[in-house]
Amino acid sequence: MGVPPGSQAAPLPSNLPFRLVSKTIGSGAYASIRKAVPKDKPKPVIAVKFINKEHAFRVGRLRPKQIELEISLHRQVSGHANIIRFLSHGDDQSWIWIAMELAEGGDLFDKIEADEGVGEDIAHFYFKQLVNAISWCHGKGVAHRDIKPENMLLTANGDLKLADFGLATNFLNLKTGDTKMCGLVCGSPPYIAPEIIQVGHANQKRKHGEDKFGYCPNISDIWSCAIVLFVLLVGNTPWDQPEPRKSEEFYHFCETQGRPEDELWEKIPSEALSLLRGMLKVDVLERFKLDDIRIHSWYTRPNKFMNSKGTVSDSVSLATNMIERLHIDFTTVPDSSQSQEPPKQVESQPAPALISTQPVTPAFDQPFDWEA
């Protein structure tokens, strides 16, 4: 097969308001990240996301409006301690670039030991910071719709920074108070709420002229936060996707009204389990809201890693505790199963197609050459 269009990348923009100081430090199906600094000084170091227009729009199946919305919503929620700060953006004929805060600690996903988690205190620490970030977003009328550990970055000190607003949406008009329902089936299957899949099925079956079905994206965000907490506590997701016909684990969860007899669930401390059951109510009317989470006894418990400002109190102790739980054999090459993988796709027939922030990588012999 041939080389993908645009694999011989056009030169990066020449009029950037900063100086690039690294080659690619991370890349996805349609974007790459490089480090940069101000033109006249060595600090601060920032991250710059480069999107090749031809590759993204023609091969990656993105629309220009999607990137415009990502930029707009990221700017809208920027300014919170637990959200990656948006700095600026620009473009030329071939590229779109987005400058943002650099999170030097990598993503949270890589710090979670499989089938073990990070321990209750660290799980509590990061869950509280995640709830703080989501509360801020929802207060700005923005739902994230792709909450998962891969999109939770860490600073050098270990504080959480929510990132990647490629699937975010406005659900609330702050002037009128009007809310908007969503019909787009999107996110990563293990983390999405069941109503998202249900809405997708219902819209596929609706007759011509009938109104579209929708879900409340802010309420769906609560479900995703609960799955993140579950993963932090036990090191695995409770199911591959929340659909009874396709997941035996989710079927039993529904049949037992949130009390499955499973070793993963048995590992969870009782107070945390109480919170999870409230957040994982399949009935959206019964599901915990942010206010319910913030007054729950497990959420309000003291945390030795967190100071009164909600940031890390002892970064060395936090890092030491996390490293101790990671079973790393430095004498062998890391197994590929421990690396980050793109989100799985929900089957398109009969299930609705799933939109994710990781577009399907084109099936070419060679990947896009970001360094060309």
Catalytic residues: 146
User: In terms of Cα–Cα distance, which of 51, 27, 30, 2 is closest to 363?
Assistant: 2
Cβ neighbours around 59 below 10 Å, total: 21
Token pair, residue 346, equals 């929900």
3-state SS class at 97:
strand
What 3-state class would DSSP assign to 158?
coil
CB distance 359 to 61 below 8 Å: yes
User: Measured at the alpha carbon of residue 279, what is the angle toward residues 162 and 165, in degrees to the nearest 5?
Assistant: 25
DSSP one-letter string for 205-254: HPPTTSPPP-B-HHHHHHHHHHHHHHHHHHSS-S-SSS-TTT-HHHHHHH
List beta partners, residue 49.
33, 98
The number of angstroms, rounded, from the C-alpha of 300 to the middle of its chain's C-alpha atoms is: 24
Residue among 145, 161, 191 at smallest CA distance from 343 = 191
Q: In angstroms, rounded to a whole number, what is the distance separating the alpha carbons of residues 143 and 176?
A: 17
Give 90's strand partners.
Answer: 97
* Angstrom distances, CA of residue 236 to CA of 25, 77, 94, 172: 27, 29, 40, 33
HSE, CB side, 13 Å, CA atoms: give it for residue 76.
21
Bind-site residues for ATP: 49
CA–CA gap between residue 167 and residue 184 (Å, rounded): 10
The reply to whether omega before 343 is within 30° of 0 (cis) is: no
Phi and psi at 186, nearest 5°, equal: -150, 165
Q: Which two tokens stand for residue 225?
A: 């936060």
3-state secondary structure of 199: helix
